[in-house]
Amino acid sequence: MSVWNYVVTAHKPTSVSHSCVGNFTSPNQLNLIIAKCTRIEIHLLTPQGLQPMLDVPIYGRIATIELFRPHNETQDFLFIATERYKFCVLQWDAEKSELLTRAMGDVSDRIGRPTDNGQIGIIDPDCRLIGLHLYDGLFKVIPFDNKGQLKEAFNIRLEELQVLDIKFLHGCVKPTVVVLYQDNKDARHVKTYEVALKDKDFVEGPWSQNNLDNGAGLLIPVPAPLGGVIIIGEETIVYCNANATFKAIPIKQSIIRAYGRVDPDGSRYLLGDNTGTLHLLVLTHERERVTGLKVEYLGETSIASSISYLDNGVVYVGSRFGDSQLVKLNLQADASGSFVEVLERYVNLGPIVDFCVVDLDRQGQGQVVTCSGAFKDGSLRVVRNGIGINEQASVELQGIKGLWSLKSSFNDPYDMYLVVSFISETRFLAMNMEDELEETEIEGFDAQTQTLFCQNAINDLLIQVTANSVRLVSCTSRELVDQWNAPAGFSVNVASANASQVLLATGGGHLVYLEIRDAKLVEVKHAQLEHEISCLDLNPIGENPQYSSLAAVGMWTDISVKIFSLPDLELIRKENLGGEIVPRSVLLCTLEGVSYLLCALGDGNLFSFLLNASTGELTDRKKVSLGTQPISLRTFSSKGTTHVFASSDRPTVIYSSNKKLLYSNVNLKEVNHMCPFNTAAFPDSLAIAKEGELSIGTIDDIQKLHIRTIPLNEQARRICHQEQSRTLAFCSFKYNQTSMEESETHYIRLLDHQTFEFLSTYPLDQYECGCSIISCSFAEDNNVYYCVGTAYVLPEENEPTKGRILVFAVEDGRLQLIVEKETKGAVYSLNAFNGKLLAAINQKIQLYKWMLRDDGSHELQSECGHHGHILALYTQTRGDFIVVGDLMKSISLLVYKHEESAIEERARDYNANWMTAVEMLDDEAYIGAENSYNLFTVRKNSDAATDDERAKLEVVGEYHLGEFVNRFRHGSLVMRLPDSEMGQIPTVIFGTINGVIGIIASLPHDQYVFLEKLQSTLVKFIKGVGNLSHEQWRSFHNDKKTAEARNFLDGDLIESFLDLSRSKMEEVSKAMGVPVEELSKRVEELTRLH
């Protein structure tokens, strides 16, 4: 039963709601602080651009953030208020690199109607108080005392009930707010109030202004000495102040929701409107008096939700609807008349309105294709876990036993030869003049035997190690220069080399160490070990890239790895690996300046150790399972950074991010050998030996999730994949705004699922919009169709009363309309169901049969239906069961009775949840998301004793996700090995408005219990930033109830165990009574679910 669920983020929120600039991390560092729903990002302004410093999870949805400078402080503090009425004030302690909580608290009131227009949190420019508008008719004040400490908060009655914006005015003797509000005749006005801190009340302020633009929605306070406020409307911009200065200018109709102050004196502001146009508002002034307003067009950006002027004409544009951007304001317009130059774009998947999971390679690993962004910033995003190898060339070659690349001279930047070893021969490939690989000869090398190792060496030499000998060959003449022969009766089993050293092992546990001196091989040292040697490595990790002072050796029999010092071949460390599986590959490497020893076993497990490069000491032992077959490890470099490639049945790239080792799978089925192959024709490429094939490919950027953007310039709303036709189809709309009229045009579009090339478009009728799309087939018809549900959204109707179901076939890459059926409402959801089509149409669930007419054509014929919903928005089916997610009546379970040809309600959840998505986890358990950002699971009570109980879906799990989920889909972002334990865990992917892609994994009960214990232990060690409580954050909360989270685990918290320092891990381990290694392994396994 899938009721013990683990929720984890695969892609963090990227939609930006707020941003601000100040000296947060140090008095002389300028920081950009970005709020992304439940996270804060801190960046540093540098000559090279924005340097990301920290990503700070906040236990709350951020309602407001503001930087402020209390009196007598040299750097700014950060004020954060959350939607669930908590707030905190943070200060950066640069010495300890810690975020200190200066103050925190709860600003909720027991009685109060939450504001409709969002929460407002503002700080007096003279730091006398924090003002909060959280409930209609109330203004909450948190006063500062003269030492900058916060005092007890109090409420002030605010007469204006429909508040649109409140700001503090600058340069006022008493703290003064300006309130923009709407009266009960829908007219908009501004009014000022002085806050009398002593009397805890408002005093009528110095001025007011009635009858503003009906679309006035934003106030911009102007700093002293100008003072006053700018009121941004949809058709006018107005400036007014206490001296009755009143300046107004008309603007082209637009909705401006974001502004950024440019000059500290407030003479210029950047304004961003709903079409993504950036304007400059100029306040002309003489002798501290505003004389006029001017608006200049600057150019186009993403539709802005926040604008922060950074420095030297560079501006950050934060967006909820598209990618956020770093832009430069130029003095001269470019060819298109724009003064805005985009310097950098930052990925934003939000809002994810819908997505589908596509398993292109049929490997059990899905890639997610999202409908992302809104309006002109709409796009499809292809999100794939792991690292892609893009094959450039391949050739059939059977039985490859090893692969090395060689340069034609030691200092050549590019590789020239590819050495391919087979069981009884070695072949040499080289790049010819036409940039093709062709077979060549290296005369000094032994081509009649298997090669064990190859390497470029100093003095322009090439090294080849075979079972019998080590050969040194000149790069220029390709002739043999020197040779070391294995002692009679012994053959070399394993070998490794670098530019000046060779280490090899022969049977009988003999370890031989050679150095290259004056183009000669010199046997420096020999050691006899007690067991046979299974693998070895002397990759230089010290300062000298041509010489290693350490060697790693893996052993048969006692299953250990040993570290020897060079050149004396002294054993300095032995690490027993335990178990019975022999180490097959060892590697010394340095990633992001941290040295590691990696040791891979014959069963696909990998040990990693931190390695002290001078003492050889090994610490921080960790074990992860990468695959099931022996692994071979090799370093490679991509874009100047070193990574490790682990060849096995589940090839993996091991890389370091923020000094932590991460494992990312590669989109190849099985790789036997890999070597870097960096040539002029194939720069930064890899040569890869698979079963029966040698290929050369380039590698994606090394990061866990790979995201590809397909810009649409319109908004996609529903998407679906059809494997048979190798296409994707989606419903989208384009927003047309002419000078007077606004209209939308809706389309069904068809794309190639591999190239994402547009194949075909079907325009919908006027006022008709696509609401649902599926790929399905019908009983007694072998064809596969796209079925689209639509609604006619007429301006005069509250709910649509007409819609259509359109059935398309894909013929020659085109959408061909086969059947259309009119419906009596919006077709919110469609499902393929028992060879028929199930549709959710307004309040009704309707089942259609696919009927063959006499003329050979088909029609949809209504079979049966089920009434009784407010709006049936989401349906999912399994067998004969139908789960319906209602607009406001939670989840109900219906059943289709074949013999009676009827749909009946079996059970329902009687809570009044406003649903945003539903999915069936299995036959018994269903998951729902509702519009207060909660998740819950319900269970069918089929064994209950009474009918009443059976008619009730029992709520078994509750959890506050803090994200608005638009869609659940079964599937996995990672390759699932069916024979592994984790491969058995079913997962559901979800997508949210803020651009989060998350995973819900249904765990076995014992694993759930273990992790629940780990979570409750971790809460004691990992604190909420700002001292916000994890328990309160994750408690189910909507306007009807608050309940402790149950049967859901916070995977983000659990997986942060791996980011703890070793000493903290040990404390957790002690509290849990489970060894650190075991804990790490179990948590690592969880990270591989996403």
Partner 1 sequence: MGSPLGGWPSYNPHNFSQLVPADPSAQPSNVTPATYIATHRTDPPPNQVITTESRNILLRHFYQKSEEKLRPKRAAPDNLAPENSNKQARGAVADVGSQSNARS
Euclidean distance between CA atoms 497 and 465, whole angstroms: 9
**Per-position DSSP letters for 673-729, written without gaps between them:** EEEEE--SSSTTEEEEEETTEEEEEEE--SSSEEEEEEE-SSEEEEEEEETTTTEEE
Helix/strand/coil for 802: coil
107 binds partner 1 (CB under 8 A): yes
Nearer to partner 1, 23 or 1038 (CB): 23
Residue whose C-alpha is closest to residue 552's, from 567, 537, 571: 537
Residues 633-662 that bind partner 1 (CB under 8 A): 658
Residues 429-448 that bind partner 1 (CB under 8 A): none
Euclidean distance between CA atoms 160 and 192, whole angstroms: 11
243 binds partner 1 (CB under 8 A): yes
**Per-position DSSP letters for 578-624, written without gaps between them:** -SSPPEEEEEEEEETTEEEEEEEETTSEEEEEEE-TTT--EEEEEEE
Task: Name the minimum Å distance from CB 1014 to partner 1.
Answer: 15
Residue 796 phi, psi (nearest 5) = -85, -5
Task: Name the minimum Å distance from CB 592 to partner 1.
Answer: 11
User: What is the contact mask toward partner 1 in residues 976 to 1015, using x (rule: CB under 8 A)?
Assistant: ----------------------------------------
1039 binds partner 1 (CB under 8 A): no
Euclidean distance between CA atoms 137 and 115, whole angstroms: 9
Euclidean distance between CA atoms 839 and 823, whole angstroms: 10
Task: Name the minimum Å distance from CB 1020 to partner 1.
Answer: 10
Euclidean distance between CA atoms 834 and 932, whole angstroms: 34
1021 binds partner 1 (CB under 8 A): yes
Which DSSP category does 487 fall into?
Answer: P
344 binds partner 1 (CB under 8 A): yes
Residues 42-61 that bind partner 1 (CB under 8 A): 42-43, 45-49, 52-57
Instruction: With beta carbons less than 8 A apart as the criterion, state whether 700 and 706 touch.
Output: yes
Residues 76-95 that bind partner 1 (CB under 8 A): 87-89
Cβ within 8 Å of residue 91, ≥6 positions away: 75, 77, 78, 99, 100, 102
Nearer to partner 1, 341 or 744 (CB): 341
Instruction: With beta carbons less than 8 A apart as the criterion, state whether 851 and 889 touch.
Output: no
Euclidean distance between CA atoms 1037 and 1031, whole angstroms: 12
71 binds partner 1 (CB under 8 A): no
Among 328, 622, 970, 1046, binds partner 1 (CB under 8 A): 328
Residue whose C-alpha is closest to residue 78's, from 86, 62, 89, 70: 89
Stretch that binds partner 1, among 101-109, 483-491, 527-535, 868-876 (CB under 8 A): 101-109
How many other CB atoms are there within 10 angstroms of residue 567's CB atom?
17
Nearer to partner 1, 113 or 294 (CB): 294
1022 binds partner 1 (CB under 8 A): yes
Instruction: With beta carbons less than 8 A apart as the criterion, state whether 874 and 918 touch.
Output: yes
**Token pair for 1018:** 């971790």
For tokens 């916000």, what's the residue?
1028
The beta-strand segments (E) located in 301-436 are: 304-311, 314-319, 324-329, 340-346, 354-358, 367-372, 379-385, 389-396, 402-406, 417-421, 426-431
Nearer to partner 1, 184 or 1061 (CB): 1061
41 binds partner 1 (CB under 8 A): yes
Among 72, 146, 331, 448, binds partner 1 (CB under 8 A): 331
Instruction: With beta carbons less than 8 A apart as the criterion, state whether 486 and 468 touch.
Output: yes
Among 7, 62, 99, 416, binds partner 1 (CB under 8 A): 99
Instruction: With beta carbons less than 8 A apart as the criterion, state whether 935 and 922 touch.
Output: no
Task: Name the minimum Å distance from CB 984 to partner 1.
Answer: 29
199 binds partner 1 (CB under 8 A): yes
Nearer to partner 1, 103 or 358 (CB): 103
Task: Name the minimum Å distance from CB 270 to partner 1.
Answer: 11
Task: Name the minimum Å distance from CB 666 to partner 1.
Answer: 18
Among 345, 401, 1013, 1046, binds partner 1 (CB under 8 A): 345
Nearer to partner 1, 347 or 951 (CB): 347
Among 316, 339, 636, 1033, binds partner 1 (CB under 8 A): 339
329 binds partner 1 (CB under 8 A): yes
Helix/strand/coil for 1074: coil
Task: Name the minimum Å distance from CB 342 to partner 1.
Answer: 7
Looking only at the bridges linking them, the beta strands covering 1048-1050 and 5-11 are parallel
How far, CA to CA in Å, does 191 sit from each of 202, 203, 355? 12, 11, 46
1024 binds partner 1 (CB under 8 A): yes
Residues 2-21 that bind partner 1 (CB under 8 A): 12
The beta-strand segments (E) located in 812-857 are: 814-823, 827-833, 836-841, 844-852
Residues 685-714 that bind partner 1 (CB under 8 A): 703, 705, 707-709
**Token pair for 779:** 């009983």
355 binds partner 1 (CB under 8 A): no
- CA 843 from centroid of its chain's CA atoms: 36
User: What is the contact mask toward partner 1 in residues 200 to 219, using x (rule: CB under 8 A)?
Assistant: x-------------------
Number of residues near partner 1 (by CB under 8 A)? 102
User: What is the contact mask toward partner 1 in residues 260 to 299, using x (rule: CB under 8 A)?
Assistant: --xxx---x-----------x-x-x-xxxx----x-x-x-
Task: Name the minimum Å distance from CB 1012 to partner 1.
Answer: 20
Nearer to partner 1, 243 or 392 (CB): 243
Nearer to partner 1, 851 or 1060 (CB): 1060
Cβ within 8 Å of residue 948, ≥6 positions away: none
Task: Name the minimum Å distance from CB 419 to partner 1.
Answer: 35
687 bridge partner residues: 675, 696
142 binds partner 1 (CB under 8 A): yes
932 bridge partner residues: none
SS (H, E, C) 741-790: CEEEEEEEEEEECCCCCEEEEEECCCCEEEEEEEEEECCCCCCEEEEEEE
- CA 617 from centroid of its chain's CA atoms: 36
Stretch that binds partner 1, among 68-76, 120-128, 343-351, 519-527 (CB under 8 A): 343-351
Nearer to partner 1, 142 or 671 (CB): 142
Task: Name the minimum Å distance from CB 107 to partner 1.
Answer: 6
341 binds partner 1 (CB under 8 A): yes
Task: Name the minimum Å distance from CB 615 to partner 1.
Answer: 27
223 binds partner 1 (CB under 8 A): no
**Token pair for 156:** 């002030």
Among 68, 309, 513, 964, binds partner 1 (CB under 8 A): 309
604-609: long-range contacts, CB 8 A cutoff, minimum separation 24: 604/628, 604/629, 604/630, 604/631, 604/648, 604/649, 604/650, 605/581, 606/631, 606/646, 606/654, 607/561, 607/577, 608/661, 609/575
Task: Name the minimum Å distance from CB 191 to partner 1.
Answer: 19
Residues 147-186 that bind partner 1 (CB under 8 A): 149-157, 171, 173-174
Euclidean distance between CA atoms 771 and 200, whole angstroms: 52
- CA 257 from centroid of its chain's CA atoms: 26
Among 62, 103, 591, 871, binds partner 1 (CB under 8 A): 103
Task: Name the minimum Å distance from CB 995 to partner 1.
Answer: 11
Q: Round the CA-based radius of gyration of the chain to a whole number and report it.
A: 33
Task: Name the minimum Å distance from CB 89 to partner 1.
Answer: 8
Nearer to partner 1, 287 or 1040 (CB): 287
User: What is the contact mask toward partner 1 in residues 1046 to 1085, using x (rule: CB under 8 A)?
Assistant: ----------x--xxx--x---------------------
Among 72, 74, 146, 312, binds partner 1 (CB under 8 A): 312
